[in-house]
Every structure is written in structure tokens, then in C-alpha cells.
Amino acid sequence: MRSQVHGISLSYNIEPIDLETDTSINLGVVVTELVTNAFKYAYPDGVGEIRVRLSKLAGEQAELVVEDDGVGKADGAPAKGTGVGSRIIIAMCISLGAKIDYRNLQPGTAAHLVFSTKPRRVIAA
């Protein structure tokens, strides 16, 4: 699907995946933060495309990819803004038991996140 706001289009391809409620919420927060950051920083000219993809992988794994073809981020450059969004993303990734990997696309940036779709056991104390 595709939508457009102020010259920036958002397209997404989401495979249906059964997830626990907490996993879905954490994933939703990560997507929101990554898309918001792309809208704010990837396209200073206000024109471009942000793509979101969620797909099943083998072995009860799934991959989330949020990518753009914007200005990108220079290696070692500090994050723009306050960094609160980045801290939120890291916290949600910890909750998901996943690590986020940022890749330079030249042009643009892609955030890749692989996580387990397997229900997590909660041990009551």
C-alpha cells in the first residue's frame, strides 16, 4: 500500500504474522519511531519515499525493514535531534530480544531488525 504526505510517500508490505500483544506493541513503537525519523531527517527537500516491510523468515523469525533513499547518515556522525527516539528504539529492541542494524544504501538508510515470532515465556515470581 502507499500514501503520501507533503511530497514524501510511505509504502508498506506487511505479511500477516501472528504475534503476542507485547511484541506487536513494541514493534509498532519501533516502526513509528523509524518512520518519524525518516520523515524528519531523510528528506530536507520534502520529497522522497519511505518503505516499510515486515516479512516472515525461517525458524520462527521475522524481519522488519524501514528504508528510505534520502540523505543518509554519515558514519560516526551524531544523531540529529535529542536522541530520545533512538533510545526508545533501543529499549523496544531489547524487549523484543533483537538488535537493530542500520545500513547505508547510498542514497539513504535502511534499518533492519530480526526478531522471534515465538511466544516468550513469562516466569512469575
Proportion of the chain above pLDDT 90, given as a percent: 67
Q: Domain for residue 122, yes or no?
A: no
pLDDT at 24: 95
Give the pLDDT score at 4: 55
| Whole-structure pTM value | 0.85
Determine, yes or no, domain membership for 124. no
Domain containing residue 91: 2-116
> Stretch 90-110: mean pLDDT, rounded?
93
Instruction: Specify if 23 maps to a domain.
Output: yes
Whether residue 121 is contained in a domain is answered as: no
Assess whether pLDDT exceeds 70 at residue 113. Answer: yes
Residue 93 has pLDDT above 70, yes or no: yes
- Per-residue pLDDT tens for 22-34? 999 999 999 999 9
Q: How confident is the model at residue 77 (pLDDT cuts 50, 70, 90)?
A: low
Q: Which of 46, 44, 20 is nearest to 118 (CA)?
A: 20
- Report the length, in residues, of the chain: 125
Mean pLDDT of the chain: 88
**CATH number of the domain that 21 lies in?**
3.30.565.10
Amino acid at 99: K
Domain count, the chain: 1
Task: State residue 81's pLDDT score.
Answer: 73
Pair 35, 88: CB distance under 8 Å: no
Residue range 44-57: mean pLDDT, rounded: 94
